[in-house]
């Protein structure tokens, strides 16, 4: 009777920190062994982090990755690992180069300290945020190995999202269990797609499937973990934690029979909860992995900055969040009181830096007016936040949402300053939903709801001139977000959007705004992708572009 | 006796301006016909502009491009075009999709108003600045047509840079003349590579080659034209203008015998002249294609802003250049006098906006110091420039050079503000060379040299604290640029760079600076690529990255 105790090791590597990732890998192996596991499988590129982008084209990087694999194998030659099999992900040197690509995206099996074999990813995603056809040489063979009387085949991520290639040969290889190493970023509702994909694969090829995903934030991506094990009948046996490192143990009796030792629920959390947790993890890891300890952000009393502050407090602790109210002569009383209320509710640092005298100094010297004056106010605030960042070492957060970013409703070098944009990929209507969801969570836990009710209910305003509200110049947000969904996410053209029932004049105006704001978006901070089409490397358009 | 008079039509399309590009195409055809041409060949994607990036994934865009091809064919059904053949470039709808790609990168032959055939680009570049494997479906067949008793085969750009595919079949197709449509961006010394490639191809396949390139700036790329005609013996028969629209006529008697009607010299201009002209064209087209009429930039008295101002004056006329001196208490007398001298020499607008009172307003309120105070000065200048841009409608230019950008020697939201960075890809040592080259050109033409000698000869300084010079914190620029060439352009690792003779401590410090400045570069303005490795989409690295 075969006895395989599989550990799905959901680690959170840092890109380029090869020694740190190696140590994390060894620690996970030791923890897995202590739990009785004899097969430990990691996510895609767990040794180097993922995605490595053009680091893939550096000889020195590939050499370092190869050395780490050799170091790990050597480490595992210690007798205590004699009966242990490990499958790790890393780049490896390709024998034949393709363009400037010199590496494969690989997985290596190490059994009892011996490198048993290696697989090179066959299907290289080169759409959305992925540039793998740029960075890697595709593999062209299958890889299986025997362990404890069972046959394991190895695949990597995109391999199971495309037809053909190694995924079609699993059955022919007599595979008992397919081990899939993944670097699959979070998107709302994406997880259900993954589960369906894995179940269909298990049934089609008659193999159990261990789908092991990375976890953690890496620049604009959030890997959500949520690894799954499905038996060869398509039954979901185990699901690992989402948005946390995890070791999930599955006892595999045969391909159709496995017993989970996992404590995480098999069902998915609701969408808003997943989005909130993705945003929290994305921010937390950007802060930590880039050596920051704290963040600073402007608190306007509005919903966007309130939600960003609450995310930041959840991510790194309120004691590391520095909120700044920066009122002007146009600021309403509630903008100050709501900002202060938020800070009290969260328990973050709070100070006031009025911009009146700073604006006056410029206006006295330069005699501005109109748009220049409005932007000046936003830029004074940007300078204040960056001065505090420089003086005190905080990461500056910029609090713009996706809707704002789409239509360019922000001041470049003003409210857009910062190294990270927590709600960059969250449309305005979802910002409100997240605020309500987070407050409801607090209520359910008998905690103080972090976001002032007034920040949720009042009409949004940039407060750059008297009595200004967003809807002076923009459609209602429900309409605007629906229109943007058609133009940005679904890539529809003018005629198609109008055919969906939107007012033609509004369509022309809004898509013109979106296109003309491209130069600003290009200079914007990164932030966590949570949708199927985020601004940034997910959507690459020319700045110089007259197509409407 | 066959009689083909070929016109190589080097047009300057605007991405997305399909109706404008179509009108430009028809105008070029009419001009060519007036010069007696009966075959007119354009550059890659001349109908839509190039590169179109993710516009390729929009159904509405591909539909519009297809309609433009049909419109052109219909227009050419007029009797006066009866004996005329035209080959144009455009995206076309692919029958089979690949990922989210729905289009081919195509060329269509129209003879006497009838669409005779179509070619789809076979090799899709997906390295450097190119994402064509992302955006297009590769073609998989050859396309030849008969005209005036000769056989023409059509290829597109990358097809002749890779082995195999249609380029290997030219001889078997009995090709007399290969027509290659190109969108090949300028790089220093790249042209010699193109000529060698075309000559080798002509000899290997025994075919004459008409290599037709686009011209014009498109965001960060500058297409330099410089189209060439090589006969089947490998002889260079004609070369079109570089950096200008052009119609070059070649009378083709047979594949080995052709007579040029071109007036441009067969030899290449010297490198510095080419670089200057590339920078001028890149800026001119960004300004014009994005609807600007004028530019504003800070004039510090230093070499970088002086060179940018001179480029701007050459590009759009000094009367459209607005220079601003923004002295602080740390500014030397010469920073003001050199800036003023420059403005007088060039004849551009000039004004002074001292930043003292603005800085004082902040310092009084916030009690800064150290780096925060230094950055504050740069940010006051950024706010002034953007205020002038908002108030008067100028495009703001940021004057940082490639060396500065590499090591992060600039203030984000300060001197980095602007929509376009004319010398972004010019390393500091080349900035000085360009200044001398441009002054020498003026002297040779008996004009006033634009750049003050003092701006060239004085030690560079950011003047953010008393007596500061760049070399307080950076190696000599000759050493620094050589080190950066190794790290950035040649992608060498630490060990390899030290092995080339650089001081180990310096290497560690500089590559650390380069890596840590990635977040700033990501938010920087675009500027014309002139080297083999520009910052921007040519070099894609994670911000979160611990590999040194």
Q: What is the mean pLDDT of residues B421-430?
A: 98
The rounded distance, in Å, linking the Cα atoms of B15 and B49 is: 4
Give pLDDT tens digits for B54-71.
Answer: 999 999 999 999 999 999
- Residue B204, both tokens: 């290997």
Residues B200, B201, B202, B208, Cα dihedral to 10°: -140
pLDDT band at A191 (very low <50, low <70, confident <90, very high): low
Exposure string of B130-167, with b = 16+ CB inside 10 Å and e = fewer, is bbbbbbbbbbeebbbbebeebbbbbbbbbbbbeeebbb
Phi and psi at residue A357, in whole multiples of 5°?
Answer: -70, -30
State the greatest distance between any 2 C-alpha atoms of chain B, in Å, as a whole number: 86
Between chains, do B16 and A51 touch, taking CB under 8 Å as contact?
A: no
Residues of chain B found within 8 Å of residue A375, distances taken between Cβ atoms: 386-387, 390
From B318, B325, B321, select the one nearest B296 (Cα to Cα). B321
SS3 B414: coil
Percent of chain B's residues with pLDDT above 90: 92
CB B355 within 8 A of CB B334: no
Give pLDDT, residue A465: 86
Give pLDDT, residue A182: 98
Q: Is the pLDDT of residue B194 over 90?
A: yes
Give pLDDT tens digits for B168-186.
Answer: 999 999 999 999 999 999 9
Q: How many CA atoms lie within 13 A of A158 on its CB side?
A: 18
Q: Is the pLDDT of residue B432 over 80?
A: yes
Residues A505, A506, A510, A516, Cα dihedral to 10°: 20
Residues of chain A found within 8 Å of residue B20, distances taken between Cβ atoms: 546
Give pLDDT, residue B141: 96
Mutation for testing the B interface, residue in A90, A361, A396 having most B CBs under 10 Å: A361
Beta bridge partners of B313: none
Mutation for testing the B interface, residue in A390, A395, A534 having most B CBs under 10 Å: A390
Nearest CA in chain B to A290: B544
Give pLDDT tens digits for A280-312.
Answer: 999 999 999 999 999 999 999 999 999 999 999
The rounded distance, in Å, linking the Cα atoms of B310 and B306 is: 6
Nearest CA in chain B to A135: B127
CB B258 within 8 A of CB B229: yes
Give the fold, CATH level 3, of A4-266: Nitrilase/N-carbamoyl-D-aminoacid amidohydrolase (3.60.110)
Cβ-based neighbour number of residue B189 at 10 Å: 11
Nearest CA in chain B to A126: B134
B456 CA to chain A: closest CA distance, Å? 31
SS3 A301: coil
pLDDT band at B472 (very low <50, low <70, confident <90, very high): confident
CB proximity list for A476: less than 8 A, separation 6 or greater: none
The verdict on whether A132 is a catalytic residue reads: no
Q: Is the pLDDT of residue A1 over 60?
A: no
Task: Give me the residue spans of the domains in chain A.
Answer: 4-266, 273-470
Q: What is the mean pLDDT of residues B423-452?
A: 98
Q: Is the pLDDT of residue B249 over 80?
A: yes
**Mean pLDDT lowest among A206-215, B167-176, B260-269, B461-470:** B461-470
**Mean pLDDT lowest among A208-217, A464-473, B364-373:** A464-473
| CA B316 vs CA A407, B340, B445, B527: distances in Å | 30, 20, 20, 16
Out of B66, B132, B157, B424, pick the active-site residue. Answer: B157
SS3 A228: strand
CB B416 within 8 A of CB B525: yes
DSSP secondary-structure letter at B137?
P
**Mean pLDDT lowest among A312-316, A319-323, B97-101:** B97-101
Between chains, do A546 and B353 touch, taking CB under 8 Å as contact?
A: no
Residues of chain A found within 8 Å of residue B286, distances taken between Cβ atoms: 544
Give the fold, CATH level 3, of B273-470: Rossmann fold (3.40.50)
The verdict on whether A308 is a catalytic residue reads: no
Mutation for testing the B interface, residue in A366, A413, A495, A522 having most B CBs under 10 Å: A413
pLDDT band at B439 (very low <50, low <70, confident <90, very high): very high
Mutation for testing the B interface, residue in A53, A528, A547 having most B CBs under 10 Å: A547
Between chains, do A286 and B370 touch, taking CB under 8 Å as contact?
A: no
Cβ-based neighbour number of residue A66 at 10 Å: 18
Give pLDDT tens digits for A378-406.
Answer: 999 999 999 999 999 999 999 999 999 99
- Residue B149, both tokens: 């008793």
B495 closest CB neighbour out of A60, A525, A544? A60
- Residue A495, both tokens: 């005629």
Nearest CA in chain A to B370: A391
The rounded distance, in Å, linking the Cα atoms of B525 and B520 is: 10
DSSP per residue over B461-493, as a string? ---SSTT--GGGTS--HHHHHHHHIIIIIS---
Between chains, do B59 and A289 touch, taking CB under 8 Å as contact?
A: no
Out of B44, B132, B187, B463, pick the active-site residue. Answer: B44
Between chains, do B546 and A286 touch, taking CB under 8 Å as contact?
A: no
Residues of chain B found within 8 Å of residue A20, distances taken between Cβ atoms: 546
Mean pLDDT of all residues in chain B?
96
Give pLDDT, residue B21: 98
DSSP per residue over A35-98, as a string? TT-SEEEE-TTTTT-S--GGGGG-HHHHHHHHHHHHHHHHHTTSGGGTT-EEEEEEEEEEEEEE
Residues of chain B found within 8 Å of residue A544, distances taken between Cβ atoms: 14-15, 218-219, 285-286, 289-290
Between chains, do A59 and B379 touch, taking CB under 8 Å as contact?
A: no
Give pLDDT, residue A367: 86
Q: What is the mean pLDDT of residues A488-496?
A: 96
Percent of chain A's residues with pLDDT above 90: 92
Mean pLDDT of all residues in chain A?
96
pLDDT band at A67 (very low <50, low <70, confident <90, very high): very high
Between B141 and B332, where is the model more confident? B141
| CA A504 vs CA A21, A493, B160: distances in Å | 53, 12, 45
Residues, chain A: 548
B344 CA to chain A: closest CA distance, Å? 23
B482 CA to chain A: closest CA distance, Å? 18
B391 closest CB neighbour out of A364, A372, A542? A372
DSSP per residue over A399-429, as a string? ---HHHHHHT-S-TTTTT-SSB-TTTT--HH
Percent of chain A's residues with pLDDT above 70: 99
Q: What is the mean pLDDT of residues A504-516?
A: 97
Give pLDDT, residue B468: 85
The verdict on whether B157 is a catalytic residue reads: yes
Percent of chain B's residues with pLDDT above 70: 99
Between chains, do B493 and A14 touch, taking CB under 8 Å as contact?
A: no
Residues of chain B found within 8 Å of residue A15, distances taken between Cβ atoms: 542, 544-547
Q: What is the mean pLDDT of residues B209-218?
A: 98
The rounded distance, in Å, linking the Cα atoms of B110 and B126 is: 29
Between chains, do B391 and A413 touch, taking CB under 8 Å as contact?
A: no
The rounded distance, in Å, linking the Cα atoms of A477 and A457 is: 14
- Residue B423, both tokens: 């010398």
The rounded distance, in Å, linking the Cα atoms of B494 and B483 is: 10
Give pLDDT, residue A442: 98
DSSP secondary-structure letter at B53?
G
CB B245 within 8 A of CB B215: yes
């Amino acid at each position: 009777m075969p006895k395989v105790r599989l550990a799905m090791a959901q680690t959170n590597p840092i890109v380029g920190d090869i020694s740190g990732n190696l140590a994390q890998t060894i620690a996970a192996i030791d923890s897995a062994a202590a739990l009785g596991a004899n097969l430990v499988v990691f996510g895609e590129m767990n040794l180097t982090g993922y995605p490595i982008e053009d680091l893939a084209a550096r000889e020195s990087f590939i050499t370092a990755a190869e050395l780490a694999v050799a170091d790990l194998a050597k480490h595992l030659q210690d007798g205590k690992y004699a009966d242990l099999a490990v499958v790790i992900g890393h780049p490896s040197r390709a024998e034949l180069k393709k363009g400037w690509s010199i590496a494969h995206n690989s997985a290596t099996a190490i059994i009892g300290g011996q490198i048993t074999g290696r697989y090179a990813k066959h299907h290289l995603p080169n759409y959305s945020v992925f540039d793998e056809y740029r960075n890697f040489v595709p593999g062209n063979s299958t890889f299986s190995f025997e362990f404890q009387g069972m046959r394991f085949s190895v695949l990597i991520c995109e391999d199971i999202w495309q037809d053909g290639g190694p995924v079609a040969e699993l059955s022919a290889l007599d595979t008992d269990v397919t081990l899939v190493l993944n670097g699959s970023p979070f998107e709302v509702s994406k997880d259900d797609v993954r589960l369906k994909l894995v179940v269909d694969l298990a049934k089609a090829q008659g193999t159990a499937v261990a789908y092991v995903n990375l976890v953690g934030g890496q620049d604009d991506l959030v890997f959500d973990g949520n690894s799954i094990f499905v038996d060869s009948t398509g039954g979901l046996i185990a699901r690992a934690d989402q948005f946390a490192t995890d070791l999930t143990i599955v006892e595999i009796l045969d391909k159709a029979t496995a017993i989970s030792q996992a404590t995480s629920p098999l069902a998915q959390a609701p969408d808003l909860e997943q989005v909130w947790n993705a945003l929290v993890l994305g921010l937390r890891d950007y802060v930590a992995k880039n050596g920051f300890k704290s963040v600073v952000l402007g608190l306007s009393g509005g919903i966007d900055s309130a939600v960003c502050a609450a995310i930041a407090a959840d991510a790194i602790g309120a004691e590391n969040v520095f909120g700044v109210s920066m009122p002007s002569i146009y600021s309403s009383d509630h903008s100050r009181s709501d900002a202060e209320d938020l800070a009290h509710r969260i328990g973050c640092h709070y100070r006031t830096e009025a911009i009146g005298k700073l604006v006056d100094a410029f206006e006295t010297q330069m005699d501005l007016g109109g748009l220049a004056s409005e932007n000046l106010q936003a830029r004074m605030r940007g300078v204040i936040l960056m001065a505090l960042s420089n003086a005190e070492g905080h990461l500056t957060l910029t609090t713009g949402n996706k809707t704002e970013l789409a239509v360019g409703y922000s001041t470049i070098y003003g409210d857009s300053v910062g190294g990270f944009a927590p709600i960059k990929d969250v449309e305005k209507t979802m910002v409100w939903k997240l605020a309500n969801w987070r407050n409801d969570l607090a209520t359910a836990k008998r905690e103080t709801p972090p976001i002032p009710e007034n920040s949720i209910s009042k009409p949004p305003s940039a407060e750059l001139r008297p009595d200004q509200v967003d809807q002076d110049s923009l459609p209602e947000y429900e309409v605007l977000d629906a229109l943007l969904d058609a133009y940005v996410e679904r890539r529809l053209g003018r005629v198609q959007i109008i055919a969906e029932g939107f007012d033609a004049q509004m369509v022309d105006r809004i898509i013109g705004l979106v296109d003309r704001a491209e130069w600003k978006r290009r200079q914007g901070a990164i932030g966590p992708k949570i949708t199927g089409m985020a601004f940034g490397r997910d959507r690459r358009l020319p700045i110089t572009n007259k197509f409407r």
